[in-house]
Amino acid sequence: MKAVGARLPRYDGVAHVTGRTTYVDDVRVPGTLWTKALRSPVDHADITGLDLSKAEKMKGVQAVITWKDVPLLEYGHLSALGIPADEPLLAKENVRYKGQPIALVAAEDEETAQAAVEAIGLDLDEKPALFDVRKAFDADAPKVHDWGNWYPHFEGEMDRRQIRKGSIDEAFEQADLIVQGVYRPAAIEHVPIETQVCQVVPEADGRLTIYSCTQALYFSMGVVAAHLQLPLNKLKFVGGTVGGGFGGKVDTATETMCSLLALKSGRPVKWRWTREEEFLCSSTRAPWHMEIADAVTTDGWILGRKMLTLHDSGAYARFSPYGLTKHSFHHTGAYTIPHLEFDGYVVFTNRVPTTAMRGFGVTSVSFAAETHMSRIALELGLDPFEIRMKNANRKGDTSPNGIAYTDPSTIPTIQAVADELGHELSADYRTATSEPRTGEWLPEHLVGQLGDPEGH
Amino acid sequence: MKLTVNGVQHTIGAAPLTPLLHVLREELGITSPKAGCQQGGCGSCTVLVGGAPRRACLLPIAALDGAEVTTVEGLGTAEALSPIQAAFHEHYAAQCGFCTSGMVIAAHGYLEGGGSSERESIQKALAGHVCRCTGYVKIIDAVEAAAGGEVVANQRWLPQPGEEAPVEIPGAPA
């Protein structure tokens, strides 16, 4: 254990401070073509015409690709986990968000590539767009997705992520008070200082060398191989040096399209997004809509929680079904609530697809759950630290999805926060531990609800 | 036109409005300044022109005939880091590293100009440099340490010739 507790030098620190770290944009390959994308200028439309003839004839243009050039057009980010594909690599019949890629040009230089993109004829039949998840369920709402306005393929072909635990009716009957809240954290752009960037080199042996800024190298490799219908041994990924990701570089945003351009032109190809593209077209953290109603007692116990979550997925599913599943498992926060009724929907809107960002799916619900704890304390006139510790997870308590906690840390964490803030805890709470519930810490509503503190 | 970069004089044939950043990266192969936004907003392309920090993405090459440009490549080497480079390494001021070149060169210019170790003054000097990893605290720690003359024996962190990597870790329990 030489490393634990020691100040270790960063293995890449010296390279960073001397400017010698080679990011994808710093790779130099002679003869590299520059890439620009034709992206949807509107939020929602049918594509009625696409004319490449002028662009293809321009001097310096080496390859133009559309959906017709993609061997497997739709491959979902989580296809390998059984979540079906829904997003075409390049738009085919319609566009569902502003900035969706429709065609790409590889040309001798950036200016030529941009001029060729502007020379592509694009006819659109614009349709009404949906931006508010709360309106997605209305009969007259714009229809965003072939699947409907929310994801219908959870296990058992359920159209929601659902959790039922205990008896929610019983909890609400026994409650002294119902405390309600609505929580709506907004979308956040990751803003890595390195925008999305990729360099692909077609090698003489028929393989592709792909310099990628992905956060998930082997994952991206699988996505590219699937779209291209190539075996993995035809792809050599070079990665691991990421100029900031924060979740935004889990999506395979550039590698497949650059590979197609390299194969079609036979030349090395590079694509670096502008800052405008990064802001307007790259995926963001999702906006969430969360409604909580808790059945509480005047002395601060939470008997039951009803919760509705609408997770704004943007125009396609990507990782959202997975994010919502994590969200549902954490919807009681760090606290034990025995009676639960949770319904969560992955809702499609005409926004840019949303994705992972630091604590994917959980950050949103932590914000909601913690704010709600403080709201309960305020409504009951109780200490916000003590109401948290009262309901805090202990050994043997069970999570919303029925897993017994073996090493919960809620109580020591809250004690540490109280210490840092100089908040005086009463004696009972000062000496509380995470050990299994007994005595006053085991109220009637939790009897019979506990799991095995040694694990399940 | 002539341009001196890190003490080496170059003859530049680029069109007059070509940004200095493009000349450095694409013509001279000096890649430490980064194309983070190319509109003067992020600071990752910062270089010193005549000792003053400038955004290379906004500077047309025509305005720089005879100028002296310094990039991070012109500071210390891996074997002998400059004080500000050593301080950034020592204080973990670089995470993903993409903004680091701009930060380091701006901080170097600040120190060369007699900048103080006051944190407020350092913040002012680095205003407009965007970092999404660190939260800035460690960056300001590093500049503060360097401004205060802290000597960092960072070379100890590099495996020396004949020494097996990884080197012995200072402060590690036996």
pLDDT, tens digit only, all 456 positions of chain A: 556 666 778 889 999 999 999 999 999 999 999 999 999 999 999 999 999 999 999 999 999 999 999 999 999 888 888 889 999 999 999 999 999 999 999 999 999 999 999 999 999 999 999 999 999 999 999 999 999 999 999 999 999 999 999 999 999 999 999 999 999 999 999 999 999 999 999 999 999 999 999 999 999 999 999 999 999 999 999 999 999 999 999 999 999 999 999 999 999 999 999 999 999 999 999 999 999 999 999 999 999 999 999 999 999 999 999 999 999 999 999 999 999 999 999 999 999 999 999 999 999 999 999 999 999 999 999 999 999 999 999 999 999 999 999 999 999 999 999 999 999 999 999 999 999 999 999 999 999 888 888 765
Write down the pLDDT at residue A81.
83
Is the Cβ–Cβ distance between B34 and B20 less than 8 Å?
no
Q: Whole domain around residue A267: which residue ranges?
A: 26-125+190-272
Q: Answer yes or no: is A132 within a domain.
A: no
Residues of A in contact with B99 (CB under 8 A): 193
Q: Answer yes or no: is A420 within a domain.
A: yes
- A55: tokens are 């662009």
End-to-end CA distance of chain B: 60
Type and span of the H or E element at A307: strand A302-314
Query: Positive or negative CA dihedral for A417, A419, A420, A422?
Result: positive
Task: Walk along chain B (174 residues) in steps of 10 and give the mean pLDDT of each run.
Answer: 97 96 97 97 98 97 97 93 92 96 98 96 97 96 92 55 54 50
Cβ contacts of residue A369 below 8 Å, gap of 6+? A292, A330, A331, A332, A333, A334, A335
B42 in reach of chain A (CB within 8 A): yes
Residues of A in contact with B154 (CB under 8 A): 14
Q: Are residues A309 and A228 in the same domain?
A: no
Last residue of a domain, one of A247, A272, A297: A272
* CA–CA gap between residue A299 and residue A301 (Å, rounded): 6
Q: Whole domain around residue B111: which residue ranges?
A: 83-157
A339-348 and A161-165 beta bridge pairing: antiparallel
- A267: tokens are 């030349």
Type and span of the H or E element at B114: none
Task: Report how many domains make up chain A.
Answer: 2
- To the nearest whole Å, the CA of B99 is away from the closest chain A CA by 7
**DSSP codes joined into one string, A232-278:** GGGEEEE----S--TTTTSS--SHHHHHHHHHHHSS-EEEE--HHHH
Q: Answer yes or no: is A133 within a domain.
A: no
Residues of B in contact with A192 (CB under 8 A): 96, 98, 132
Q: Answer yes or no: is B36 within a domain.
A: yes
* 8 Å CB contact of B104 and A26: no
Q: Answer yes or no: is A145 within a domain.
A: no
- To the nearest whole Å, the CA of A415 is away from the closest chain B CA by 26
Q: Are residues B64 and B37 in the same domain?
A: yes
